[in-house]
Structure 1
């Protein structure tokens, strides 16, 4: 996709305003001052990118509590012409909010998205015993439902960003049961040249096994292990054509421009009938990828020079 002039780019994200996805988009410097388009789901965000109506889409891909976001992984696996160009981490903290003038003692019904509600059960049991849950479509919809009266509740579980957009009182902060919960988001664009490698990079792939036989998964993993590449994520997802057929969503430490990663991806291509390269991009934590000297670019180049010498008749 050709770069649009600054000031004319549109970024799609799971809305409405006040979501964790919006918080992730605030971390993208080039998105500042541009048009942010809230959408209803991941499929719509990616469709906006593929049809050119948005330059990029911010989507949640993994959570420390829930694991991989299957809807996002499946959408990326089944949509061609997309690239991940960056990742962003957002701490998952929750507020209990209510209309102005409310008190915690008056709360008997709480509006919440089921995932958010499940992550706050211990706090709710201690502080609002005997309450009832009112199911909301999203963390922001729970708060909106309080204000417009469409949800029969006195309070709502919401993301911190909601108070920047809606007139609410905060009854309690940090009500999540896991203080270390984090959601990983990725910025997706149409196919572009991968960002320059930084030494602290990640490569995402989707790989199918060539056949369902003993050892096939091990053979796939050996493409990485024999080249000293660590996998930070490997998750199976059903292909959908018949029972027992799976593809694997993989995050590998390193950049496609690294000799060891390029060699591994070429090995996968020889091994698998279907390899989808989702992108190489800087890690959100900026932690340098460590590897042994024998897996360095120089080591691969030296081995190639040695082989060329043999083929040319030189003394090895």
Structure 2
């Protein structure tokens, strides 16, 4: 008898043609299942928490703008979520308009704020007198100029927009950085981390206990003294009072690694609140290297040595 595969649902920032959809297209297990377009990160995560979707693809970091604040704040405040994978999408933009529009007719440009920020240089050089109308997504900016819901003559969008809508491309490659990349993460309800691959990343959100000299250094030392590299350190205001921050951290390695587990114990003793976001394969599949003195067996041997001492064994 042929096995019937349960149909799954994946939420993503829609509609079709967004960079988020391109990221979701990189997930093999998502192909052939239902893709649910949503309006924002909050809606995507609510879909997961409330059971409408099995997972959500959301943008978490951009190589130009840094961490996506709405995503980081949502992950910090919504319990019950876990990152299970990350995906990289090369970011490039085109300027589009309704068919028949000339670039010299463009005075107002519709664009998502992040996309707009990444095209400042080109816009300043080619359309210095333009004004900007914000849109909820790159696709929404194009739809807005076509249906008249946005008061603009042109829109900044992803190149894939031409496959979904009847737009005319006024200019290509308008991004200021040809190497721009956005990192996306696939988020599910809390689940046990998958087995380590050797090319893994662990994401955390950590609050400092008090605002005092050396507090951040003490936090970072939990990793440095165990040979763990941090690939992302970003502060976000907690919001309860001025000067209080939480830190978003990406650490090279997996929670099943002895050195990472030991660091997490140190973090837990140090911080009043730690949010474990997940251990998952790196998008680039780059193997994590570390000095031999931080190998798993070194931590195991040290722990066994201490247990033997406590048990009364001679100090060998």
Measured against the shorter chain, the TM-score band is over 0.9
The separation in 2 between residues aligned to 1:212 and 1:123, in whole angstroms, is 42
Cα 1:135–1:249, aligned 2, differ >3 Å: closer, same or farther? Answer: closer
Cα 1:177–1:9, aligned 2, differ >3 Å: closer, same or farther? Answer: same
242-251 or 180-189, which deviates more: 242-251
Unaligned runs of 5+ in 2: none
The separation in 1 between residues aligned to 2:179 and 2:231, in whole angstroms, is 18
The separation in 1 between residues aligned to 2:153 and 2:6, in whole angstroms, is 41
Cα 1:289–1:169, aligned 2, differ >3 Å: closer, same or farther? Answer: same
Show the counterpart of 2:229.
230
- Aligned pairs, how many? 312
| SS of 1:125 mapped into structure 2 | helix
1:203-262 Cα shifts (integer Å, max 9, x gaps): 011111222222222111111111011111111112222222211111111000000000
CA shift for structure 1 position 134: 3.7
The separation in 2 between residues aligned to 1:107 and 1:71, in whole angstroms, is 31
The separation in 1 between residues aligned to 2:206 and 2:90, in whole angstroms, is 30
Show the counterpart of 2:67.
68
CA shift for structure 1 position 281: 0.3
CA shift for structure 1 position 25: 0.7
Show the counterpart of 1:82.
81
Show the counterpart of 1:36.
35
123-132 or 145-154, which deviates more: 123-132
1:13 corresponds to 2:18: no
| SS of 1:60 mapped into structure 2 | strand
Unaligned runs of 5+ in 1: none
The separation in 2 between residues aligned to 1:91 and 1:190, in whole angstroms, is 27
165-174 or 189-198, which deviates more: 165-174
Show the counterpart of 1:266.
265
CA shift for structure 1 position 128: 3.5
CA shift for structure 1 position 105: 4.2
Show the counterpart of 1:242.
241
Structure-2-length-normalised TM-score: 0.93
Report the RMSD for the aligned CA atoms in angstroms. Answer: 1.7
1:114-148 Cα shifts (integer Å, max 9, x gaps): 33222212222333454443443321121101211
| SS of 1:167 mapped into structure 2 | coil
Show the counterpart of 1:150.
149
1:281 corresponds to 2:280: yes
CA contact (8 A) 2:82 2:190 kept: yes
1:313 corresponds to 2:313: yes
The separation in 2 between residues aligned to 1:26 and 1:64, in whole angstroms, is 20
Cα 1:228–1:151, aligned 2, differ >3 Å: closer, same or farther? Answer: same
Cα 1:310–1:214, aligned 2, differ >3 Å: closer, same or farther? Answer: same
Structure-1-length-normalised TM-score: 0.93
Show the counterpart of 1:94.
93
The separation in 2 between residues aligned to 1:184 and 1:274, in whole angstroms, is 25
CA shift for structure 1 position 83: 0.4
Q: How does 1:180-191 map to 2 (within 5 A)?
A: 180-191=179-190
| SS of 2:155 mapped into structure 1 | strand
| SS of 1:54 mapped into structure 2 | coil
Cα 1:25–1:149, aligned 2, differ >3 Å: closer, same or farther? Answer: same
CA shift for structure 1 position 31: 0.7
CA contact (8 A) 2:39 2:136 kept: no
The separation in 1 between residues aligned to 2:14 and 2:187, in whole angstroms, is 16
The separation in 2 between residues aligned to 1:34 and 1:58, in whole angstroms, is 14
1:160-207 Cα shifts (integer Å, max 9, x gaps): 222221112222221101111111111000011101111111001111
The separation in 1 between residues aligned to 2:64 and 2:256, in whole angstroms, is 32
CA contact (8 A) 1:7 1:34 kept: no
Show the counterpart of 2:119.
120
140-149 or 253-262, which deviates more: 140-149
